[in-house]
Structure 1
Amino acid sequence: MANWTAFGILSRRGRTTVVGTATSDSKARPMFSRSRTCLVALGALLLSACAAGGSIAQGQPKPDWNLADMPSQNGRIFLVTGGTSGIGYESAKALAAAGAQVVIAARNPERGEEAIASIREETPDARVRFESLDLADLASVHALAERLTAALPRLDGLINNAGIMEPPERGTSADGFEMQFAVNYLGHFALTEELLPLLQKADAPRVVTLSSIAARLGAIHFQDLQFEQDYDPAGAYQQSKLACLMFALELQRRSDAAGWGIQSIASHPGVSRTNLQVNNGFVRRSIGRFVLQPAARGALPTLYAITAPDARGGSYYGPTGMMELRGSLGFAQVPAAATDAQAIARLWSVSEELSGTRYPSRIAD
């Protein structure tokens, strides 16, 4: 998912460091001060990118991995949230072309039918269907899980892809949560828990959760998790994508500890042309024409994570070019905040409470 905060278009409250919590400053910054902060953040990302190129981690994916390298997915079943456009659509299309049965879950049935028709133009025998899902409504999440549990023999892969980016005005979900937190993170947190039994029925189930390079600038604002005191579109987006990354890594740790047998992997698409840019201004959209990569290219880290035999649970995949904006496939840099054990445990506990879900200590045989 594209995110222009990587270029230093930061929050009003100056939340530029990657920490567990952040202080609040509701006063607007002078332009020169904000520019200086942007340059500092940009420099930090450049240093991180340079450091990433200094060594090759064991098990590094083949840099030129593409759809031709994807193994057959015949007989496998996948659920892709937000699969009607962008990264989700490209992921669903590729999986269907590889022989998988694909369920696209999204809010708009009309766009769902359009996506299915488009996929079948390229793959006439594609086994793809639409299911209604509003991640901003936990009742809708629960209803989808119930329908799928009744209809499917198993679920081989779940791609937690759907998301929104930086709505200028603070919105709230049906359950009263800040909209980006609800859609990007909490809805997926609840959906994954409810689908655990269905995932366990597969031989080698995987859950891939999409984060963003914005996670590097994020913080979990436990003192104002819903941004009720001072809404900041960029800060709320960064928080939600950091939460997604923390969730993916912690899900793998818990799977290992409890013997769930589920591989949990995170991915990000760099900066790609998707409908997330709807809230970007004219200047950001104009620059994006020269920077953004096609959505099909941005979907490769996710497709590698969900299908490649060598993909590793607990890993984070993305582009490896400058600042991870685009480029060859590889391991993405994990920000320090995403490995803060205390913050992860606190976020997990809060998320269970807010979503009304409870992950089991183990899954029954």
Structure 2
Amino acid sequence: MLGRDTARGASAVAELRGAAGRAEVTFQQVDLGSLASINAFGENWRARGEPVHFLMNVAGVMAIPQRRTTTDGFEMHMGTNFLGHFALTGLLLPALHAGNARVVTVSAAVGRWTMARLDPADLQAEQQRYTPMGAYARSKLAEIMFAAELQRRAASTGISSVAVDPGTAVTNLQRHVKGAAGSISRALATMIGYPIERVAENALYAAIMPNPTDTTLIGPSHFIQRCASPKDVGIPPLAREAGVRDALWRRAEAVTGVTFGLTGGGQA
């Protein structure tokens, strides 16, 4: 397990060990808003020489009221939700190859429904008016594009990649959504969303489903998500634009300094 908060990480480890008996669970501190932190973890893992069989990219921030940046100057949503996961996955690529890994990237419903086009040349949203949900939505669309493009590029290498919309639930992630929008969001989550214990089911299904493609997106099968089961709902039209996906990938490599060496045929 990786996370930014060591105290919360230790608590999660204790809870898992208590629930799963003799399960081997460890925690390492990594801040996805810091390339230095991500690089340090990547170097340490490579030195261990251990394979990775499953990677769940799930960390995130949501609807931060005022535009903020990461330590590397990235807009906070794009930097944490997309670029942090992109860099982490790229640095773990040798271990992912060794483990014939499944990479699951957790997006959100807003990534499927957003009408906001993603401009790879303006990842930091410097050329448009900042809105909390707009920035969050673009980062979640970027995650879907990343998962789809990784599946396309890495399919012949033994690595598979799936995006997932875990469904709606009331969580601490929504703490920044203020005012009427926040009240409505939490009310809808309570009425139509999953109990928190079920939110993980879509992600777990994405981790084990057979034969994903670069259009696969696992999500709730019904708008009323309390009675939904996981299914492939397909990536949204905006995520199918091959030119934009390729440009996003190249831009992410350029700004993070992490290159995958992958083309559509696998390793370059």
TM-score (ref. length: structure 1): 0.67
CA distance in 2, matches of 1:188, 1:150: 20
Gaps of 5+ in 2: none
Q: Which runs of 4+ in 1 moved over 4 A?
A: 323-326
Aligned mate of 1:227, from 122, 125, 137: 125
Q: Give the conservation status (yes or no) of the 8 Å contact 2:118–2:138.
A: yes
Alpha-carbon spacing, 1:326–1:214, altered in 2? closer, same or farther (3 Å):
farther
Q: Which moved more, 1:338-347 or 1:285-294?
A: 285-294
CA distance in 2, matches of 1:304, 1:105: 21
Structure 2 match to 1:242? 141
Give 3-state SS (helix, strand or coil) of 1:330's partner: strand
Give 3-state SS (helix, strand or coil) of 2:26's partner: strand
Alpha-carbon spacing, 1:313–1:195, altered in 2? closer, same or farther (3 Å):
farther
- Residue 136 of structure 1 deviates from its aligned partner by 0.7
Q: Give the conservation status (yes or no) of the 8 Å contact 2:192–2:224.
A: no
Matched, 1:253 2:152: yes
Matched, 1:312 2:208: no
AA aligned to 1:158 is L
Q: Larger RCO: Structure 1 or Structure 2 (Cα < 8 Å, ≥ 6 residues apart)?
A: 1
Aligned mate of 2:250, from 349, 353, 362: 349
Matched, 1:107 2:4: yes
Aligned residues: 257
Structure with larger Rg: 1
Matched, 1:167 2:64: yes
Matched, 1:205 2:101: yes
- Sequence identity (%): 38
CA distance in 2, matches of 1:142, 1:358: 13
- Residue 282 of structure 1 deviates from its aligned partner by 3.4
CA distance in 2, matches of 1:220, 1:363: 26
AA aligned to 2:4 is R
Aligned mate of 1:122, from 9, 19, 24: 19
CA distance in 2, matches of 1:271, 1:326: 12
Aligned mate of 1:181, from 71, 78, 81: 78
Q: Give the conservation status (yes or no) of the 8 Å contact 1:270–1:325.
A: no
AA aligned to 2:143 is C
Alpha-carbon spacing, 1:228–1:359, altered in 2? closer, same or farther (3 Å):
same
- Residue 184 of structure 1 deviates from its aligned partner by 0.4
TM-score (ref. length: structure 2): 0.89
Q: Give the conservation status (yes or no) of the 8 Å contact 1:270–1:326.
A: no
CA distance in 1, matches of 2:244, 2:226: 27
1:293-346: per-residue Cα shift (whole Å, max 9, x none)? Answer: 1222111111112134x3524321111112768611111232111000111111
- Residue 269 of structure 1 deviates from its aligned partner by 0.9
